[in-house]
Amino acid sequence: MSARISISRIHFPVTTLGPGRRIGIWLQGCSIRCPGCISADTWAKGNVTTSVREILDAIAPWISETEGFTISGGEPFDQPEALAELLAGIRSISRADVLVFSGFTLELLVPHLCSMDGLIDALIADPFEQSEPQTLALRGSDNQRLVFLTELGKERFESYERSTRVSDRTVDVMFDANGDVWFAGIPGRDDFRKLQVLLRQFGARIAISQDRGISLGLGERQG
């Protein structure tokens, strides 16, 4: 486990990015930078890296309870060697499903997916397109594709090949030691803008990562 990896955050349980109680791992750094992305705080390349072994050790206490893993960012495939090592490590300690979000097109990802055969069960591929509608479950825009890469992936995620429901608009809330609040999930368009306006009416001074490339008191994750 020699690869170095840049991580934004790790959280358990995540319940809004796939079935069951999941371990969420967000990688730091994104070369795609889709306009309108609500996770702009993950775009910058991380200045600090850690080892894959340290990540596996960090999630070890949750392994017996987790029903799946969701890996997002940032852009996971901007760190392909570290991602492959992380996925192999996850496979060695858990039989739970693995879902990966990527902003690259499926066609561009084929070489990576071949080298990671069997390590990813389901994939959300293609860039977020702000001009596209948002009517499909687990996707920020309807151009994005849900791809089953294993039988386990099909078994676990086939139910997400459908239109989004009101219940899909829930988010997980995470609190950092420094007081920052983070959300994980697939919110509706402008949901966080509406929340921002509402909280400001109560005197809260907040910013979201759509405002700047970094979170200031209130950040959020889509995927």
pLDDT digits (tens, 9 = 90+) for 2-59: 799 999 999 999 999 999 999 999 999 999 999 988 788 889 887 789 999 999 999 9
Q: What percent of the chain has pLDDT over 70?
A: 86
Q: Are 8 and 79 in contact (CB under 8 A)?
A: no
The pTM of the whole model exceeds 0.85: yes
Alpha helices in 33-178 (DSSP H): 52-59, 80-93, 106-115, 151-157
Alpha helices in the chain (DSSP H): 52-59, 80-93, 106-115, 151-157, 191-201
The H or E element that residue 94 is part of is none
Listed in sequence order, the residues at least 6 apart from 3 whose beta carbon sits closer than 8 Å to its beta carbon are 51, 52, 81, 82, 85, 86
Average pLDDT over every residue of 193-217 = 59
Q: 3-class DSSP state for residue 217?
A: strand
Mean pLDDT of the chain: 88
Q: Distance of alpha carbon 191 from its chain centroid, rounded?
A: 18
* pLDDT grade for 205, boundaries at 50, 70 and 90: low
Domains of the chain: 4-165 (3.20.20.70), 167-222 (no CATH)
Q: CA nearest 71: which of 61, 57, 59? A: 59
Alpha helices in 36-158 (DSSP H): 52-59, 80-93, 106-115, 151-157
Q: pLDDT tens digit string along 156-202?
A: 999 999 999 988 888 888 887 777 777 788 877 776 666 667 767 77
Q: 3-class DSSP state for residue 179?
A: coil
CA distances from 164 to 14, 36, 139 (A): 18, 20, 9
* pLDDT grade for 66, boundaries at 50, 70 and 90: very high
